[in-house]
Amino acid sequence: MRYKNRLDDMPNVALFSPNEYINGDDFSGTTFEIIRCGVVFVVFIILFSLSYYLYGQHNNKSNSRQMINSQSPVPISNTTSYIHRFIDLPKNSLYFTPLFQKNPFPLPPVSLDRISFMISSSPASAKLCDRYLKMWNSEFGSNIIKNTGMKPHHTVYWRTEDESENLPKDYQIDRINESNYHFKWAYMIIENFKNVPNNVDWFVAMDDDTLPFLDRLLPALSKYPNPRDEIYYIHSPGERKSGTHTGNGGSGHIMSRKWAETVIPSLKECNSHIMKRIKNGDIRLDLCSRRILDQLPTYDYGLFHMDPKGFKGDLTGFVEGFLDRMNFKVIHHMEKYIYYLFPKSFGRLMMNNDINYTHTKHFVKSARISGDLFLKRFAMRGQDDTYYILNMGYSFITIPRTNKTAIDVYLNNVESTFTFTESLLYDELNTLLVPPNQEIKRFYLKNVIEDSLHPFAYWQEFSPIDSLNVAVRIYVDSYQRVSLNFLNATLVHGQEST
């Protein structure tokens, strides 16, 4: 190999010019030693200077870190504007003041005939799948379907060997010739791509206990242009605090037509070569997409996979403080009976009042009627300086005038009304959690009623957690102005208001 010889192995040649000989004496060896010592000294000075500089930088950082730790925690976002708004709210106003900026989905929705949903299911969950379809894929759960009379393409996939006795009425299934439940994921995507009309631009693969909110999902997809020419592969980053963020199929894998045309020809072969220890079909799909395309997916934090290993109990704080923050579009595992969208005691009262009541059905109906305002926050200042906050379509709360700090904390954080497994918690949520505020008085949505005389107008009625007596009614007019009416001031304030 070239340049492998060391200096000592080189032939004896003159290293200096004749001018370096003094008085006829040969000082070449001495001169070389002097130069070598000089080089070593210079290197030593450089290393010493560098070490001194790095030590100074480290010391400065340590001091800075100590100063930061000694200061008050910095809030996630600026909260003074909220308090300022509350102080300036007129006491005699009939209308709430909105505390949000703008519609997060300003673009027109993707046309319903341009999207195909493929649903992985089985006989064990056929009734649940049918019930969910009748919620999200109907006028009950979507204003877009109600206004257009159209529905998106959807196909429910079973394995060939699954028994099909006692199927719900009008419940249609397609079969995949694959005995492995998780391998079925790749094959149902291949099959769906072959059979849907050519004008379909988007493909959504999901589980049967998943609720896509079409009125939120379809406008959100409009921000991805040219799905026939551009590769888009979108899914949830997963709920874990760390990891490779392979998608969870329950919350949906969203794929553009260009992705399908590029990946599907190699998908079957890739799926057969993925390590057998990776059993989950959704993870295998993600890994194949990365391998075939050599690119990462797009993460959407509004596709919620609610891991029942991570959440337990009353999700009030999560719904009020986190779902809309992430512009939610899909929720997986809404009915695990481990956690609840509304407090369990309130749910029991509602079930006693309506045998057809479920948390999910109530939530979906409210989301559809509330439209763009669902879970948006509105504020009002009462005559006695009590502060009212409306979480549209979900809850109504009061905060005493003596506790302005509670407003700051409540509006910018998430009350931990639920218990959780920290390692399975969303990264963003983990930074926002605060203990429940005992000074908050809370009322939950009992009923939402459309105004048949005025388009886009509706009433919402709220009851305390331990009674179905309506305490508060709000009205949203056709201009999205929100007004308040106390039906039972005693329940709200503890005494009749003057």
For residue 247, what is the domain's CATH number? 3.90.550.50
Can you tell me the distance from the alpha carbon of 398 to that of 400, in angstroms, rounded to the nearest whole number? 7
pLDDT (0 to 100) of residue 80: 54
Is residue 216 within 8 A of residue 189, CB to CB? The reply is no
Mean pLDDT of 461-474: 94
Can you tell me the distance from the alpha carbon of 381 to that of 83, in angstroms, rounded to the nearest whole number? 11
Task: Determine, yes or no, domain membership for 87.
Answer: yes
* Domain final position from 257, 283, 305: 305
Give residue 194's pLDDT band: very low, low, confident or very high (50, 70, 90): very high
Of the ranges 189-198, 201-210, 366-375, 428-437, which one carries the lowest mean pLDDT score? 428-437
113 φψ region: left (φ > 0), alpha (ψ -120 to 50), beta (else): alpha
Domain span including residue 18: 1-54
pLDDT (0 to 100) of residue 406: 83
pLDDT (0 to 100) of residue 34: 58
Task: Determine, yes or no, domain membership for 191.
Answer: yes
Give residue 52's pLDDT band: very low, low, confident or very high (50, 70, 90): low
pLDDT (0 to 100) of residue 160: 86
Task: Determine, yes or no, domain membership for 285.
Answer: yes
Give residue 496's pLDDT band: very low, low, confident or very high (50, 70, 90): very low
Give residue 8's pLDDT band: very low, low, confident or very high (50, 70, 90): very low
Q: Is the pLDDT of residue 1 over 70?
A: no
Task: Determine, yes or no, domain membership for 377.
Answer: yes
Percent of the chain with pLDDT over 90: 51
* More confident: 227 or 182: 227
Same domain, 116 and 252: yes
Task: Determine, yes or no, domain membership for 444.
Answer: yes
Residue 200 CB partners (closer than 8 Å, separation 6+)? 113, 114, 115, 116, 153, 257
pLDDT (0 to 100) of residue 18: 30
pLDDT tens for residues 83-137? Answer: 677 777 877 788 999 988 777 777 899 999 999 999 999 999 999 999 999 999 9
Of the ranges 95-99, 126-130, 185-189, 490-494, which one carries the lowest mean pLDDT score? 490-494
Task: Determine, yes or no, domain membership for 64.
Answer: no
Can you tell me the distance from the alpha carbon of 448 to that of 457, in angstroms, rounded to the nearest whole number? 11
Can you tell me the distance from the alpha carbon of 467 to that of 444, in angstroms, rounded to the nearest whole number? 10
Task: Determine, yes or no, domain membership for 106.
Answer: no
pLDDT tens for residues 198-226? Answer: 999 999 999 999 999 999 999 999 999 99
Degrees, nearest 5: CA angle 389-365-348: 80
Same domain, 167 and 250: yes
Same domain, 41 and 92: no
pLDDT (0 to 100) of residue 16: 29
> Strands 418-420, 330-332: parallel, antiparallel or unpaired by DSSP?
unpaired
Q: Which residue has the tokens 């959704």?
A: 282
Q: For the chain, what is the mean pLDDT?
A: 82
Axis crossing angle, helix 184-195 with helix 281-293, rounded to the nearest 10: 70
pLDDT (0 to 100) of residue 303: 92
Residue 91 Cα distances to 80, 111, 384, angstroms: 20, 44, 8
Task: Determine, yes or no, domain membership for 73.
Answer: no
Give residue 426's pLDDT band: very low, low, confident or very high (50, 70, 90): confident
Q: Is the pLDDT of residue 412 over 60?
A: yes
Same domain, 92 and 168: no
Q: Is the pLDDT of residue 35 over 90?
A: no
Can you tell me the distance from the alpha carbon of 371 to that of 459, in angstroms, rounded to the nearest whole number? 13
Percent of the chain with pLDDT over 70: 80
Q: Is the pLDDT of residue 73 over 90?
A: no
Residue 498 Cα distances to 128, 164, 399, 470, 490, angstroms: 49, 64, 18, 19, 11
Can you tell me the distance from the alpha carbon of 346 to that of 353, in angstroms, rounded to the nearest whole number? 11
pLDDT (0 to 100) of residue 228: 98
Same domain, 46 and 189: no
pLDDT (0 to 100) of residue 240: 65
* Domain count across the chain: 3
Same domain, 366 and 421: yes
Give residue 63's pLDDT band: very low, low, confident or very high (50, 70, 90): very low
Can you tell me the distance from the alpha carbon of 203 to that of 195, in angstroms, rounded to the nearest whole number? 12
Q: Rounded to two decimals, what is the model's pTM?
A: 0.81
pLDDT (0 to 100) of residue 239: 64
Residue 192 CB partners (closer than 8 Å, separation 6+)? 116, 118, 155, 203
pLDDT (0 to 100) of residue 369: 98
pLDDT (0 to 100) of residue 309: 83
Mean pLDDT of 435-458: 94
Same domain, 261 and 378: no
Mean pLDDT of 315-331: 94
Can you tell me the distance from the alpha carbon of 70 to that of 73, in angstroms, rounded to the nearest whole number? 9
Same domain, 96 and 122: no
Same domain, 425 and 454: yes
Mean pLDDT of 152-171: 88
pLDDT (0 to 100) of residue 359: 93
Mean pLDDT of 285-291: 91
Same domain, 134 and 204: yes
Q: Is the pLDDT of residue 232 over 50?
A: yes
Q: Is the pLDDT of residue 19 over 50?
A: no
Same domain, 283 and 413: no
Q: Is the pLDDT of residue 68 over 60?
A: no
Same domain, 91 and 119: no
Give residue 144's pLDDT band: very low, low, confident or very high (50, 70, 90): very high
Q: Is 131 exposed, middle or buried (0-12, 13-18, 19+ CB in 10 A)?
A: middle
pLDDT tens for residues 247-271? Answer: 676 789 999 999 999 999 999 898 8
Of the ranges 360-369, 376-385, 400-409, which one carries the lowest mean pLDDT score? 400-409
Q: Is the pLDDT of residue 244 over 80?
A: no
